[in-house]
């Protein structure tokens, strides 16, 4: 598998996902958690809200106290930083100057994406096609070099076929 194919294919999926539906709120009660009136927000709207909400919260309250750092708030606040960190990782991967920093960002981003599930749980939302393509696209980009190493190692290793 070609590294460039994984990288650019993943980045294409990531970009396309912004026009697709991110999540669905299955009940009227879940609408209370939604910042917009849409029952089916796009990834662009969902990530934009996730990025701005902590900033607005801090602006309104002046600061964040320890009591505000619940798992619910922390997971939602972390969701807003996934895209900026991912875009930084993409730029660093394209520059190919700091592989250690890219590796560190990769190890930070994967758990951040997992925190999305906590947010979805608390908001009573179901992931849709936009969310899935967004996640798959990021993972393909972040692990494109490892996928290439794995597939080239497997194709270069001779195997004894007994069956």
pLDDT for 77: 80
pLDDT for 63: 62
Which comes out higher in pLDDT, residue 148 or 161?
A: 148
Give me the domain span that covers residue 102.
3-151
> Domain tally for the chain?
1
In a domain, 157, yes or no: no
In a domain, 41, yes or no: yes
Cα–Cα dist 78/113, whole Å: 9
């Amino acid at each position: 598998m070609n590294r460039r194919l994984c990288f650019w294919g993943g980045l294409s999926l990531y970009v396309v996902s912004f026009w697709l539906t991110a999540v669905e709120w299955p009940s009227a009660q879940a609408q209370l958690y939604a910042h917009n009136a849409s029952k089916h927000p796009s990834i662009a709207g969902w990530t934009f809200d996730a990025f701005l909400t902590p900033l607005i919260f801090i602006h309104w309250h002046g600061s964040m106290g320890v009591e505000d750092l619940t798992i619910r708030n922390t997971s939602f606040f972390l969701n807003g930083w996934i895209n900026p960190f991912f875009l930084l990782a993409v730029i660093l991967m394209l520059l190919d100057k700091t592989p250690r920093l890219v590796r560190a960002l990769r190890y930070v981003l994967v758990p951040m994406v997992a925190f999305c599930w906590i947010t979805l749980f608390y908001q009573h939302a179901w992931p849709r096609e936009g969310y899935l393509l967004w996640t798959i696209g990021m993972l393909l980009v972040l692990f494109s070099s490892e996928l290439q190493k794995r597939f080239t190692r497997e194709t270069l290793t001779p195997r004894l076929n007994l069956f």
